[in-house]
Chain A
Amino acid sequence: MASMEKRLQKELTALMKDPPTGVKVDAESIYKNLSEWIVDLDGAPGTLYAGEKMQLLFKFGSRYPFDSPQVMFVGPNIPVHPHVYSNGHICLSILTEDWSPALSVQAVCLSIVSMLSSCTEKKRPPDNAFYIKTCSKNPKKTRWWYHDDNV
């Protein structure tokens, strides 16, 4: 637990001090509770999501960074993307089984931005309607099939 806090604190400091483009931590949201972050993302220019503003919600468990955080889109704009369900869940392998403690919030954010950026057609995942009805609130509980390696 202590290590999780320490790590988050450091990550936060680093992220605030030197944020990558298009990534902005909502420090207000973290003020009370270090284990839940809201991160504002900007769609990368020159991509389908250019100009869009999105919000990611990170929830860190006490085993972070050895265990992956819960990451999902929240807020008014859930980007339309073949790997993003309309309830905000993201199908991204590094968020579950491919998680590595070497990853960080910043890395995850960049991965997601990159995932969005490489999208060629804005559409929901094919099983969106079914998934959002049946899924758990916690995207980590979903058994993802990472079938698409192209995006």
Chain B
Amino acid sequence: MAGEEQVECPLCMEPLEIDDVNFFPCTCGYQICRFCWHRIRTDENGLCPACRKQYPEDPAEFKPLTEDELQRIKKERKQKDLQRKQKAAENRKHLANVRVVQKNLVFVVGLSKKLAETETLKKQEYFGKFGKIHKVVINQSTSYAGAQGPSASAYVTYNKAEDALKAILAVNNVHIDGRTLKASLGTTKYCSHFLKGSQCQKQDCMYLHELGEEAASFTKERNAVRNSANNHVITTGSKPIPTRKKESSPLTVTTSSSPESQGTPPSIMSNHSPNSPSSNKDAWPSLQPGSKPNNKPTRTDQHNRVNNKIRTKSEEDTDHSSQITDRFNGTNTVHRTTDPQHSNTVHRTTDPQHISPPQQTKPPLSQPRIVNSGVPGVKTVVFDNPAQSLSLFSGNVFYGNRNQKIPVPTQTEVPDIPTTEISESIQVSSCTDWQAAFGFTSKSRESQDDDLGFDPWDESSKGLADLLEKENVTTNIHQQNNTHNQKYDQRPTQNLPPGFTLSHIQNQQRPVQHPAFLQNELVGSRMMGFLQQNPKRLGSMMSNRREQTNLQHPESYNKDWQDGLRALLPNINISFGAPPPTSANSQKSSQNNHKSRRCLSKNSYFDGPRTIFDPAILSSGKYSDGSMTDCPPHWLKSITQLTELEGQSQNHRLPFVQQFPIRNSGWPTQTQNPPPGFQTRPPTQHSEPHKISEGLQ
């Protein structure tokens, strides 16, 4: 019975119970616990695992322990346990209060609630920027914040110590969301298991399991002092910290100045320019805590480059207006990542993107929403390699959309979708500040300006003019919607290839829509909100356009675009379903959804967004819905109820749908769970995107 403490059942590896110790079920002497014995006899083959003899009915050898023995064993065990624990504890007790500075651990305080999420901070736009992050631990306790209001702190563990230093240099004293971030190296304590001398079972335990360097270890009390000192050392240690030179390009004049004018509190930087009210954001991206206006540009640039991989002066300027850069990013990435995708898709889809820049520069701010939802982020998401987009800027997009709280003033009706115009005119300090600070767009921004090689506004204006000429649509309708459509229209026009007809253009327009929705979809839970807000616009304008054409020659129009589509996709066998029966039912819609979804999924990297896509389509269906006035079917009513917001603007268009109930037919029926209440909507939708996507299959 010696050493029974350590004995485990060889099968289940559980330590043997005290009364299992004398339990030997087989004559061979192979010992297992009674639990396993029972299992083998009832559920398994009933053979002894060792000798493969049938287990006898009664255990071969089983002497229940006497009460005395039991007591004795228990006692012994307890004692031994105790002894072991004491020993370990004594050895390491003194370590309990010791904190050890970790070279790869960044401790940040002053995070706003919004930022205080592990995943957020890990993102490339935030701490992920400085290097590979091993772990982020958020402490939601507000005690660190003091005067700054509730804010959280976080421990960011980098894989490399340099990255941690980089992060600290860059983040310390940056002003975000009304709070000033403070960053320093963090300390860790010893794992309680280590202190007890036991094995730590936690797989990713971030506490120490071995003795740390003496020099880096402090007791709690000393640590406080030390910590601040440390902090100081770190920040001041970065001596050669020139500010990056400030150049305002015409594009961003307003924005770049905005954060400053907004009155970012004077930087609290310990060292170089304590007096400089200069924007903190400057400090962040270039990893330069101090901002000195007089610095030599060259040097600055070098620094910038060193620290922020890619960053040209002009880029820097633009990065102040996050939205602008957003868009540019979208464009650029598309350029750079040559899509292995169907060339057609690429062409079509990139078109709008190329043209998108004009939107930013465009003066009319009346419909910021359209602009925004129409394009920018979306492309990013859609056509870009997901990984890249994520790492580079898609986060941006998310950021912009998701966080309505981002201080985008409410000038626009839809505050949650910040647009270039908004940021330009409104000067959102903390928002831009933060984005700029993290150098959001630094990488993708390169060459954005040069890429265009033309004045987008001019180009698109021309295109629009062309379009207008060609369209023999009653002007008043057009005008009515022109404001809405303006930007939208221009996109396709610009890249209008020779010989393209109007219908082509219109076809082309549609796809653009998807990305837009897609983008917003990525925001997930915001879908509903989005549906109610944006699609209305988009949808309405689109439906207007379609109406124009369709009303005139529905049939020919249909054919027209089909032909156009074929022309567009010469290599692809496109077939169109026969015009559907008039009964517009929800099946149809689901078919549509299904189709387009499939098309999406075709692009390999699309897997993620696929589901996301749904809502886009659903929402796109709206414009069709909107077009029925006269006697909307039952489901329509409910939809209208669901989307009251859209109601007013769309009602006048209702008749359209009735006229041309559904043109898509013969598609497989079945939707993948559209959001509740939405299934009914899409029936009437027969937007080109779907068909095009069909063609792509």
Give bound CA distance, A55 to B643, whole Å. 60
B221 contacts chain A at the CB level, 8 A cutoff:
no
| Interchain nearest-CB distance for A120 vs B (Å) | 28
Closest to B50 in A: A102
Given that A100-B49, A101-B36, A101-B40 are contacting pairs, would A65 and B14 also be in contact in the complex, using a CB cutoff of 8 Å? Answer: no
What sequence of 0s and 1s flags, for each residue 80-122 of chain A, a beta carbon within 8 Å of any chain B beta carbon?
0000000000000000001011110000000000000000000
| Interchain nearest-CB distance for B618 vs A (Å) | 36
| Interchain nearest-CB distance for A26 vs B (Å) | 18
Give bound CA distance, A100 to B44, whole Å. 10
* B52 close to A100 (CB less than 8 A): yes
A144 contacts chain B at the CB level, 8 A cutoff:
no
Closest to B35 in A: A3
Closest to B8 in A: A10
| Interchain nearest-CB distance for B344 vs A (Å) | 39
| Interchain nearest-CB distance for A28 vs B (Å) | 15
B528 contacts chain A at the CB level, 8 A cutoff:
no
Within A121-137, the residues touching B (CB, 8 Å) are: none
B310 contacts chain A at the CB level, 8 A cutoff:
no
Determine the chain B residues whose CB is within 8 A of the CB of A101 once the complex forms: 11, 36, 40, 44, 49
Q: Which of A3, A98, A100 is within 8 Å of B12, CB to CB?
A: A3
Determine the chain B residues whose CB is within 8 A of the CB of A103 once the complex forms: 49
Most chain B CB within 10 A, of A9, A65, A98, A100, is at A100
Within B546-563, the residues touching A (CB, 8 Å) are: none
* B30 close to A102 (CB less than 8 A): yes
B68 contacts chain A at the CB level, 8 A cutoff:
no
Given that A66-B39, A66-B40, A66-B43 are contacting pairs, would A100 and B50 also be in contact in the complex, using a CB cutoff of 8 Å? Answer: yes
* B44 close to A66 (CB less than 8 A): yes
B10 contacts chain A at the CB level, 8 A cutoff:
yes
Give bound CA distance, A7 to B36, whole Å. 13
Given that A66-B43, A66-B44, A101-B36 are contacting pairs, would A3 and B49 also be in contact in the complex, using a CB cutoff of 8 Å? Answer: no
| Interchain nearest-CB distance for B433 vs A (Å) | 40
A6 contacts chain B at the CB level, 8 A cutoff:
yes
Closest to A10 in B: B13
Determine the chain A residues whose CB is within 8 A of the CB of B52 once the complex forms: 98, 100
* B10 close to A102 (CB less than 8 A): yes
Determine the chain B residues whose CB is within 8 A of the CB of A10 once the complex forms: 8, 13
B251 contacts chain A at the CB level, 8 A cutoff:
no
* A3 close to B14 (CB less than 8 A): yes
Which B residues have a C-beta under 8 Å from some C-beta of A? 8, 10-14, 30, 36, 39-40, 43-44, 47, 49-50, 52
Which A residues have a C-beta under 8 Å from some C-beta of B? 3, 6-7, 9-10, 65-66, 98, 100-103
Write 15 A-B pairs (CB below 8 A) sorted by A numbering.
A3-B13, A3-B14, A7-B11, A10-B13, A66-B39, A66-B40, A66-B43, A66-B44, A98-B52, A100-B47, A100-B52, A101-B40, A102-B10, A102-B30, A102-B50
